[in-house]
Amino acid sequence: MNRAERFFIALANLFPVWVLTGAGLALWKPQTATWFQPDWIPYFLGLIMLSMGLTLSFEDFSRVLKLPKSILLGVGLQYTIMPGLGYALALAFNLPIDFVIGLVLVACCPGGTASNVVCFIARTHVALSVSLTTVSTLLAVLLTPLLTTWWVESISLELTGLKVDVDTLGLLLKTLQVVILPVLFGVFLNHYFHRWVKKIEAYTPFLAVLSIVFIVDFILAAKKDAILEIGASLIGAVVLLHLLGFLLGYILSRLLKFAEKEAQTVSIEVGMQNSGLATELARSNFSSYGLATVPGAISALTHCILGSIAAGLCRWRNAKITTRHR
């Protein structure tokens, strides 16, 4: 690995810094982020998913067979506990219907690629992290639209007495377009053009990080007034959603006798959602609910901060365990 490659990998590993810095600038000086166009979001999200696909090979999918319990628990929590938490928190905080839709979308999305970076920094089970992200992403094409439809329709009746009609097919097609196709294309390129992919693989994670930052900053800048006006309850709900995801992922894994690093990995995977996907699905499928994109942007900022804290705690605990066993 040459100096340039090491430099770009180091930049990618600093993704919480870029997200926090960009978010601060977007709220302080919105013009630093409003140059970004909303129509660009699916392309940048596709770039993020393509970057993930380039790190995978067809052989990687065989990992699922080697770690069935961990995969089953991680993906199971992703699509059961998290949507349930999203529903409960939306009710508990009495959020407006736009924020409800956005929060439920975040809760129903698969794990994000940022979780793989956090697991790498935390020195947990990186292969398991990639496998969990891959499986939950592939399942998202069906589960995210179906779960979103169910929970949004249920909660809208609960809060307003009126049912929000959800275009389930539209959600499914958009998920297929911006998630599955870029990932599979990346796997295809890695398989048939592996030598070429190896030359750029050190640079693509930072491009994915920049894409996340651009999307998040644009939403924060565009919706600044709404965030400052009604933001406290939404921020509270989003923080609790991710925090409980981290905690439940770890606690349930340990109760089921998973090894320490496996439990840490499941915790990070469950606590970190694909907020960029939630933002794009809100923008393209709930255009009449203009603030539905805001929870996704706040979610990306939140899980980056919590993920960084989790990475530090994991490294500290793993170092302590290693020292104890010497």
Written in H, E and C, the secondary structure of the chain is CCHHHHHHHHHHHCHHHHHHHHHHHHHHCHHHCCCCCHHHHHHHHHHHHHHHHHCCCHHHHHHHHHCHHHHHHHHHHHHCHHHHHHHHHHHHCCCCHHHHHHHHHHHHCCECCHHHHHHHHHCCCHHHHHHHHHHHHHHHHHHHHHHHHHHHHHHHHHHHCCCCCCCHHHHHHHHHHHHHHHHHHHHHHHHHCHHHHHHHCCCHHHHHHHHHHHHHHHHHHHCHHHHHHHHHHHHHHHHHHHHHHHHHHHHHHHHCCCCHHHHHHHHHHHHCECHHHHHHHHHHHCCCCCCCCHHHHHHHHHHHHHHHHHHHHHHHHHHHHHHHCC
Q: Give the model's pLDDT for residue 63.
A: 64
pLDDT band at 325 (very low <50, low <70, confident <90, very high): low
Is pLDDT at 137 greater than 80 in this prediction?
Answer: yes
pLDDT bin (cut points 50, 70, 90) of residue 80 is very high
Q: pTM value?
A: 0.85
Identify the pLDDT of residue 256.
92
pLDDT reported for residue 51: 83
Average pLDDT over residues 165-174: 81
- How does residue 267 score in pLDDT terms, banded at 50, 70 and 90? very high
What pLDDT is stored for residue 83 in this prediction?
94
Q: How confident is the model over 190-210, as a mean pLDDT?
A: 87
Which structural domain range is residue 23 located in? 3-324
At residue 244 the predicted structure's pLDDT band, cuts being 50, 70 and 90, is very high
Report the share of the chain in percent with pLDDT over 90: 29
Q: What is the mean pLDDT of residues 277-282?
A: 88
Confidence of residue 138 (pLDDT cuts 50, 70, 90): confident
Give the count of domains, the chain.
Answer: 1
Please determine, for residue 161, whether its predicted confidence score (pLDDT) is greater than 70: no
Q: What is the CATH number of the domain that holds 35?
A: 1.20.1530.20
- pLDDT number for residue 269: 93
Mean pLDDT for the chain?
86
